[in-house]
């Protein structure tokens, strides 16, 4: 049970880190190229959100395999675990997106 909660945290923070790190370094590259960094960071956030989730899950093939076994073989426990892992990674990616969004100034805290 402890490993389950640890994996939830890993998935959350890995996807959060991919979003923030990718957008931050993309903003540095935009600055070096003479483009507006905050706008570039926000554009990158939209493009890499799905990839942050995939990276956090360790690729799509193991996740799809677990979902397949859960659906077709009736192993509900594995299916629920995988859905929770996906939601955790999705939440981390979305929070990373929102942090960059508020940094850019499009939203207000």
What is the chain's alpha carbon radius of gyration, rounded to the nearest angstrom? 16
The C-alpha angle with vertex 53 and arms to 46 and 93, in degrees rounded to 5, equals 55
With 90 as the cut, is the pLDDT of residue 75 above it?
Answer: no
CA proximity to 100, closest of 34, 30, 49, 32: 49
With 60 as the cut, is the pLDDT of residue 109 above it?
Answer: no
Residue 109 is classified by DSSP as: -
pTM of full prediction above 0.85:
no
The C-alpha angle with vertex 19 and arms to 1 and 78, in degrees rounded to 5, equals 25
> What are the tokens at 60?
């799509």
Question: How far is the CA of 23 from the CAs of 59, 74, 97, in angstroms?
Answer: 20, 40, 9
Q: Place 104 in a pLDDT band, splitting at 50, 70 and 90.
A: confident
With 90 as the cut, is the pLDDT of residue 57 above it?
Answer: no
More confident residue, 47 or 105: 47
pLDDT attached to residue 103: 81
Q: Place 108 in a pLDDT band, splitting at 50, 70 and 90.
A: low
Per the prediction, the chain carries an average pLDDT of 87
Residues 6+ apart with CB under 8 A from 79: 66, 67, 69, 70, 71
With 90 as the cut, is the pLDDT of residue 25 above it?
Answer: yes
CA–CA separation, 78 and 8 (whole Å):
14
């Amino acid at each position: 049970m402890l490993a389950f909660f640890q994996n939830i945290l890993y998935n959350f923070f890995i996807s959060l880190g991919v979003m923030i790190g990718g957008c931050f370094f993309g903003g540095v590259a935009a600055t070096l190229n003479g483009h507006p960094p905050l706008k570039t960071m926000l554009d990158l956030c939209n493009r890499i959100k799905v990839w942050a989730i995939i990276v956090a899950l360790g690729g799509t093939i193991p996740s799809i395999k677990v979902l397949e076994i859960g659906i077709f073989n009736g192993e509900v426990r594995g299916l629920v675990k995988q859905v929770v892992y996906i939601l955790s990674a999705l939440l981390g990616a979305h929070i990373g997106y929102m942090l960059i969004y508020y940094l850019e100034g499009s939203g207000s805290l």
